[in-house]
Amino acid sequence: MNAISTEEQRALHVSIPSRIDVARVRQDFPILAQQVHGRPLVYLDNAATSQKPHRVIKAEARYYAEINANIHRGVHTLSQQATESYEAARDTVMRFINAARREEIIFVRGTTEAINLVASSYGQRLVPGDEILISEMEHHSNIVPWQLLCERSGALLRVAPIDAAGELVVEEFERLLGPRTRLVALTQLSNALGTITPIRELIALAHAQGAKVLVDGAQAIPHLKVDVQALDCDFYAFSGHKIYGPTGVGVLYGKAALLDVMPPYQGGGDMIKQVTFARTTYNDLPYKFEAGTPNIAGGIGLGAAISYLDRLGLEAVAAHEHALLDDATQRANATPGLRLIGCARAKASILSFVVDGVHAHDVGTILDLEGVAVRTGHHCAMPVMEHFGVPATVRASFAVYNTHEEVEALFAALGKVREVFA
Ligand SMILES: Cc1ncc(COP(=O)(O)O)c(C=O)c1O
């Protein structure tokens, strides 16, 4: 068994008391007040997308109502205000993940685009025989771009296995690293299992072999404190919509020294310095990677979401979510016929399970009738399903606004599933 690193222990938040006033927090999220099928909505599909607080909704609405204009190129007042708000959001992101420079924050559509950007741009330096190392628990967004890159470049994709608990087998990961490993791409928190990977240790191991590391932070970003300088990752990707922000906006962090020498990902407006038919020169960072009019409202909304989460305090949020996960795990272990998928020692926010003799989709449908929203399916992680020999799981995932009463409601609704399928 792998030893639990101090990073993982910290991530368990066992000693940090929850200081979240959940009733107060819930008032910030207008959608939570509604009923579904005549029952109070119990929203436990946060790993797919989180709900949005008033602050985010207002920030987007304010942009359209008061300062809507295209950014960067305008001399008029609205354009300048829009540019200032958008660039302020970049600064908020920079501080939130402790990037060294604002130029290292590239706005993209989301995690998927961030990973594709690195695969397309950084990937151009890969040659036949080079290797890319990922893990068995990756989301399809952190598998397929590398398969495409392998097809283009002749590089080989290597996959580090997970064990029966859903933990990465670090010794195998280390064994698969070699002098031909150019890129390592790993999740910090598995969306299908809830496993927290010992990412700092894995990054150090990869760097020792001279490989660059991309961290898929889509799930980690709302739950774990991320410090890209302390992690020393080369790239970090996340989506706005999983951190209480809008859809259609996300972030690629990259070390400036790498981004500087990488070729552009897309061509168009904003990413150029000068265009002639003979030759085009490219803009400075971060704009070199931001071709075309971006999701301006989304960027501003993402800044508002991060400020909101910052004000609550990520440690307190994580402690609250951990208490919910503990509660749910204990109830799950005491429920006959329910099998947890993913029992890693370091987990956050995600409870994935199957119910004996009932397809996950049927479980999800019955829970929905009880007002409980969960995700069912392969969670865009088909290799994980294959590993555990199941076609699909039911996934309940927690956010800051969830309560212990909602955990109770989930298990009461699971009782209905048993009644229906008795
Ligand atoms: C671990 C992980 N990586 C990548 C993604 C893709 O994120 P997006 O669809 O926002 O690009 C997700 C989304 O569920 C995810 O959970």
Residues with a catalytic annotation lie at 380
pLDDT over 50 (residue 4): no
- Determine which of 15-19, 200-204, 305-309, 330-334 has the lowest per-residue pLDDT on average: 15-19
pLDDT over 50 (residue 147): yes
- Mean pLDDT across the chain: 95
Output the pLDDT for position 17.
56
The answer to whether the CB of 239 is under 6 A from ligand 1 is yes
The answer to whether the CB of 110 is under 6 A from ligand 1 is yes
Output the pLDDT for position 73.
82
Tell me the mean pLDDT in the region 262-279.
95
Share above pLDDT 70 across residues of the chain, in percent, rounded to a whole number = 96
Output the pLDDT for position 5.
46
> 3-state DSSP helix/strand/coil percent for the chain, to nearest 5?
45, 20, 40
Output the pLDDT for position 374.
98
* CA 218 to ligand 1 center in whole angstroms: 5
The answer to whether the CB of 142 is under 6 A from ligand 1 is yes
**422: pLDDT confidence band, cut at 50, 70 and 90?**
confident
Phi-psi region of 342 (alpha: psi -120 to 50; beta: other; left: phi over 0): left
**209: pLDDT confidence band, cut at 50, 70 and 90?**
very high
pLDDT over 70 (residue 292): yes
Tell me the mean pLDDT in the region 32-39.
97
* CA 187 to ligand 1 center in whole angstroms: 10
Atom of ligand 1 nearest to the CA of 380: 14
* CA 73 to ligand 1 center in whole angstroms: 32
* CA 179 to ligand 1 center in whole angstroms: 29
The answer to whether the CB of 376 is under 6 A from ligand 1 is no
Atom of ligand 1 nearest to the CA of 216: 3
Supply the pTM of this predicted model. Answer: 0.96
* Contacts for 308-311: CB closer than 8 Å, 24+ residues apart: 308/28, 308/53, 308/55, 308/56, 308/244, 309/222, 309/243, 309/244, 309/400, 310/96
The answer to whether the CB of 219 is under 6 A from ligand 1 is yes
- Tell me the C-alpha distance between 380 and 193, whole Å: 12
Q: Render pLDDT for 229-244 as a digit per residue (tens, 0 to 9).
A: 999 999 999 999 999 9
The answer to whether the CB of 50 is under 6 A from ligand 1 is no
Q: Give CA angle at 325 (320, 327), nearest 5°.
A: 95
Looking at ligand 1, which residue's alpha carbon is closest to its atom 15?
218
Residue of 46, 107, 111, 196 to mutate, ligand 1, most atoms within 8 A of C-beta: 111
**184: pLDDT confidence band, cut at 50, 70 and 90?**
very high
pLDDT over 70 (residue 9): no
pLDDT over 90 (residue 248): yes
Atom of ligand 1 nearest to the CA of 112: 11
Q: Render pLDDT for 37-73 as a digit per residue (tens, 0 to 9).
A: 999 999 999 999 999 999 999 999 999 999 999 999 8
The answer to whether the CB of 121 is under 6 A from ligand 1 is no
Query: Quick check: helix, strand or coil at residue 251?
Result: strand
Between 359 and 3, the higher pLDDT residue: 359
Atom of ligand 1 nearest to the CA of 110: 11
Output the pLDDT for position 6.
41
pLDDT over 90 (residue 11): no
CB-side neighbour CA atoms (13 Å) of 89: 30
The answer to whether the CB of 111 is under 6 A from ligand 1 is yes
- Tell me the C-alpha distance between 360 and 378, whole Å: 10
- Tell me the C-alpha distance between 179 and 77, whole Å: 54
Atom of ligand 1 nearest to the CA of 189: 1
* CA 269 to ligand 1 center in whole angstroms: 27
Instruction: Record the tokens describing residue 19, joined without a space.
Output: 């200081």
Q: Render pLDDT for 368-387 as a digit per residue (tens, 0 to 9).
A: 999 999 999 999 999 999 99
pLDDT over 50 (residue 224): yes
Q: What is the largest CA-CA distance in the chain?
A: 73
The answer to whether the CB of 372 is under 6 A from ligand 1 is no
DSSP state string for 67-104: I---SSS--SHHHHHHHHHHHHHHHHHHHHTT-S-GGG
